[in-house]
Structures are given as C-alpha cells and as structure tokens.
Amino acid sequence: MNILIVGGGTVGVSICSQLALEGHNITLIDTNAAQLTETANKYDVFGVAGSGADISVLRKAGADKTDLLIAVTSSDEINILCCTAAKKLGTKYTIARVRNPEYNELMTLMKNEMNLSLTINPELAAAKEIYRMLRVPSATKIETFFKGRVEIAQFTVSDDSPLCGATLNDLRTKLSVKFLICAVLRDDEAHIPSGFFKLEAGDVVCLTAPDDEITKFFKAIGAYKHPVKDILIFGASRTTYYLQALLKGKRIRSTVIEEDPALCRELAEQFKCTVICDDGTKQEILAEEGLETKDAFLALSNVDEENAIVSMYAKSQNNKKVITMIHALSYVDLFSGVGLDSIVSPKTSTATFILRYVRSISNAQDFEIESMHRLMEDKVEALEFRIKDDIDRLTDIPLKELQLKKGFLIACILHDDKVMLPSGDSIITKGDTVIIVAVKGQIHSIKEILK
C-alpha cells in the first residue's frame, strides 16, 4: 500500500518503522527537516518537509495516489484538516488522531462530512484499558475480543502459586474452568506452550477465556483479588477525564489529587468526584488520602517520571493494585523492568490501533482483521480474524489435522454466535471469527499460520 504519514513525532515514527518493515511504501511529512531526514534515512522511507495542511505539500507527497493517510501531529485541528484535504485530492482512506474531549461528539456527528475514515483518541483508549484492569484486578493487562465476549488476561505466576511446577494438562484436569493458556513469557522469550509445558514462578502468562470465566480461573488458583471499589488517582490528565466518564454510574469511588486549581474545579464540577488540590508526589498527602487502604492506585499525570516514582512508592505500601501511565515509548520497557507490571501507554495504544486498521484494509477478501492487540512487551500478537470465505487447507478441517507453523496458536473460535475454546476436533468454517496468537509478530494474514 502507498501510505502517507503526517507527523514525525514518537507515534508517527513508531507507525512508520512498523509499516515500512511490513513492506508498504511510506512517505512521511513533518515540519522539522533535520528530524525528517534522520527518520527517512533510518527506515528507508520518502520524506517531505512541510505542513500536512498545505495542499502543495500534500500534492508533492503524492496524496492523489495514496491509499491511506495517517495524521498524527500534536494538533487535532491540523490532523482533521489534512485528512479532509487529502481525501479531496484522491486519498482513499484517512485516519486522524483527535485527543480533545470536546471534539468527541463532533467527530461522531461529522466524520463523514470531514472525510475521515477513522479517528483515534489515545487517552480514551488508555482509559478503556485502565477500566478493564480495574474490572479484573488480578490481571496486569487485559484485552477483549469478539466485542467483549472473550478476554485475554496477562498475569505473573507468583512463588507461592499452585501453578508452579504444574503442566497445562494437569491444570485442565484439576480446574473446572473453561480456559486456555495461549502464551508464556520466560527469561524474555515468548513461548506457545504445549500441554506438557511446565509453569514456573516468574512466568508471565496469557490466558484466554470467555469473559465470565476469567474471575473463576483466578479464584480457582487462589490469585483472586477483591473487586475494586475505591481508588486513588494521581494527576488530572485527559486520561483521568475519560476514566471518570467511564466510571460514572459504576460502583467505584475515586479520589483525584491534582495541583492545578483549574483542572481540579473542572473535574469536580463535571463528574462530582472527590478532588484534592495538592501535590500528589508528597508522601504525607498520599498517606492522608488513604493510599494504604485504597483498592487501587493510578498514576495518570502527564509526567512519566513522577508517575513511575509515585507508583513505586505505592507498591512499597502494599497497595492492592497499581496502574502507571507512561507516555514515552522508550520508557515502557525501562519501568517494566523495575516492577511496574501494569503499565498503560496511550502512544502504544494508538500505534497498535492504526496498525490493525492498516492490516485490515490491505487484507485479501476472504478474511479481515477485526482487532489486534500486542502483549508481553510486544513479543506476542493476538489477532481476531473474520473468515469471509472458504480458505484452502484451513476451513472445514479438524484442527488436529491442520499443518500449523511453530509459534502460532488458534486460541478461540466464535461459531454461530457461540464462543468455543478449540479442541483437536474443532473446525473453522466460513462465517466464523477466530483469535490467532503469534509469538513472532507481524502476522497480517491468517494463511501465514499454515506450513
């Protein structure tokens, strides 16, 4: 595909590097000529200096022959404007990153008039991810498939867990729960485990199950954490704003600590939540607001370093659940290595969402990608494929007879609106939706799982 990316910041470069790796023809537009040249040389893409809202720049970048334009500058208005202009010039599809909460309803009403194929809101995506973690506090990360009917939960095996030393076959025999362990991260290496795989303390595990079975699994292994009912939030960021909107009407009380008086007033008036106007990095303030007694602590300020520091302090106070927001992609692995296991990154969510869309529109017509999530420090991908037609050597054949490549797993099947954890006798048919887990990543065709 011919893809035009407007904005050479962290998200733009991340998308650019991944799409170039997948063989697309990439053109990058940015106003910073020096940075543009460096990125273009590094990833072997074509660079055009200038503003994406400038018609002459769009023409020079080949917008009239572009399949997809992705606008991810720091300005919502420029992103919307350059998408509208590019569509007029002949670009087939457009994606705009739009972060301002005030534009949410407008985007819904005016998306077609603005010639936008898709909009992505990083902070809203992060808030939804945080909400899922609060709903299943035993997991360090949780993603949904089949429109919320199936979940993949990520958690770490503790030293005293009954999972230690158990094979997956043992667990299936002992636990009366519908589940499938689809990936294990050990010593920085991802595995698709067989039934004879033996779990060890420290393993990071990805578990697939229908949404009503996840809690049963954690209860069965003694890792269940009580539902979150009272949370403490550090920072009144946009993500906090969106999270408060998601929590509205739910049985979760929240207290927000924020230094900016204007943000405090706005949040308190909008959502009627408790807001403390003070410095949340002070230990005495956190103690006064009951850090030790809260069910969860969320560090959601716009400063990554402060989020990391207060999160580490919260964990030292034996807080039941700690969630940390990290904006800089280069920091995610760094802070994961110091014990912050529930990290949310708006920029990572944006890049993943856009990559999913790109793969979906570039697929063959017999299948398409419905959703895509990256797990285990991006070493594992879980993709939801909808089978639109019969596929040679895949459909209407028992799974035990399929010739699957190593490193791939069929984790779940939606057939006739029924969720099925697959067995060797299961069959994929036309019209089904299938979850594929891949440890090598970069899978964009379901046919790639076959030898």
One-character DSSP codes across 341-363: --EE-HHHHHHHHHHHHHHHHHS
384/411 Cα distance (integer angstroms): 10
The pLDDT of residue 364: 52
Q: Which of 239, 246, 271 is nearest to 255 (CA)?
A: 271
Tokens of 38: 């460096």
What single letter denotes the amino acid at residue 155?
Answer: F
CATH architecture for the domain at 2-120: 3-Layer(aba) Sandwich (3.40)
The pLDDT of residue 14: 87
The pLDDT of residue 255: 97
40/48 Cα distance (integer angstroms): 9
**Neighbouring C-beta atoms of residue 112, cutoff 10 Å:** 8
DSSP single-letter state for residue 450: B
- Tell me the pLDDT of the chain (451 aa) as tens digits: 999 999 999 889 989 988 888 889 999 999 999 999 999 999 999 999 999 999 999 999 999 999 999 999 999 999 999 999 999 999 999 999 998 878 877 777 777 777 788 889 999 989 999 999 998 999 999 988 988 889 899 999 999 999 999 999 999 888 889 899 999 999 989 999 999 999 999 999 999 988 778 889 999 999 888 889 999 999 999 999 999 999 988 889 999 999 999 999 999 999 989 999 999 999 999 999 999 999 999 999 999 999 999 999 999 987 789 999 999 888 887 887 777 879 999 988 888 888 888 877 776 555 677 888 888 878 899 999 989 889 999 999 999 999 999 999 999 999 999 999 999 999 999 999 999 999 876 677 888 899 8
pTM comes to 0.85
The pLDDT of residue 363: 62
Task: Note the CATH number of domain 360-449.
Answer: 3.30.70.1450
Tokens of 174: 């002992």
228/288 Cα distance (integer angstroms): 20
| β-strand partners of 144 | 151
Same fold? 2-120, 360-449: no
Distance of CA 55 to the CA centre of its chain: 33
CATH architecture for the domain at 227-320: 3-Layer(aba) Sandwich (3.40)
Q: Which of 37, 43, 110, 31 is nearest to 75 (CA)?
A: 31
Task: Note the CATH number of domain 131-220.
Answer: 3.30.70.1450
| Domain range annotation of the chain | 2-120, 131-220, 227-320, 360-449
The pLDDT of residue 336: 77
Is residue 275 helix, strand or coil?
A: strand
The pLDDT of residue 226: 87
